[in-house]
């Protein structure tokens, strides 16, 4: 199986490459340092699997990159890597098309198991995170009234939100996402309505709380 690794730490990329290349059925064919490079590598090599770090400053986050890559290259399976058990993002990356979610400090055997599991068409979630996912699913009210408003955001709105928080204007956001200014304005209005935010400072505070500006 052909694999691309995207992580902003060179030592992590090297370590994972050594582990994977040592396997007879695996070959690392590309490395990337952020979401933008990850997209470019997938576009160039069309790998079977992409190991994608959730937190990669600067550049696009793993959350945004997951959605874009799965939309344009659905055959590439994505295994999300993270240093933290970010329960809030587990649901979103799976909804955006990721096939797996595991912690970076997991043993080598778990990494290999996760890669082989998603390559065979399955879904791999770190056991601790799987328990949290089941617990959240059971406790989740069928009505959206009790849902976390963040879960109501669309993929595009999740892309627009951190850009607004970082201070980009509507025109700059439109250029970055290749959409019209009017579309940006519409997304911004929907975001503020869904999250019940009234100003940019409130958007910044919300983005910081959700850790959208940390990667």
pTM exceeding the 0.75 threshold for the entire prediction: no
Which DSSP letter does residue 126 get? -
Q: Note the Cα 176 to chain centre separation in Å.
A: 18
Output 61 or 6, whichever has higher pLDDT. Answer: 6
Specify the pLDDT at position 139: 59
CA angle 19, 125, 94 (to 5 degrees): 110
Higher pLDDT, 155 or 4: 4
In the block, residue with structure tokens 């879904």:
123
- How far is C-alpha 101 from the geometric centre of its chain's CA atoms? 10
**118-126 mean pLDDT:** 92
C-alpha span between 86 and 211 (Å, rounded):
10
Residue 100: predicted pLDDT:
92
Residue 206: is the preceding peptide bond cis (ω within 30°)?
A: no
Average pLDDT over residues 66-83: 90
| Alpha-carbon span 40 to 142, nearest angstrom | 39
Distances (CA, A) of 108 to 9, 29, 102, 139: 18, 19, 11, 33
**What pLDDT score does 75 carry?**
95
Q: How many CB atoms lie within 10 A of CB 119?
A: 19
pLDDT at 49: 98
Q: What's the whole-number mean pLDDT along residues 21-26?
A: 96
């Amino acid at each position: 199986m052909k694999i691309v690794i995207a992580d902003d730490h060179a030592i992590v990329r090297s370590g994972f490459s050594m582990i994977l290349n040592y396997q007879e059925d695996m070959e690392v064919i590309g490395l990337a340092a952020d979401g933008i490079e990850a997209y470019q590598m997938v576009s160039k090599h069309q790998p079977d699997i992409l190991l994608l770090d959730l937190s990669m400053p600067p550049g696009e986050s793993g959350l945004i990159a997951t959605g874009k890559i799965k939309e344009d290259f659905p055959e590439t399976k994505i295994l999300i890597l993270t240093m933290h058990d970010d329960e809030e993002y587990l649901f979103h990356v799976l909804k955006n098309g990721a096939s797996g979610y595991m912690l970076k400090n997991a043993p080598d055997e778990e990494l290999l198991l996760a890669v082989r599991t998603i390559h065979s068409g399955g879904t791999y979630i770190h056991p601790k995170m799987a328990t949290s996912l089941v617990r959240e699913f059971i406790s989740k009210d069928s009505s959206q009234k009790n849902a976390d408003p963040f879960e109501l955001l669309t993929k595009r709105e999740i892309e627009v939100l951190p850009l607004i928080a970082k201070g980009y204007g509507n025109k700059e956001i439109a250029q970055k996402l290749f959409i019209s200014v009017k579309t940006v304005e519409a997304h911004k209005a929907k975001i503020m309505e869904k999250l019940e935010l009234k100003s940019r400072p409130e958007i910044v505070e919300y983005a910081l709380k959700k850790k959208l500006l940390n990667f």
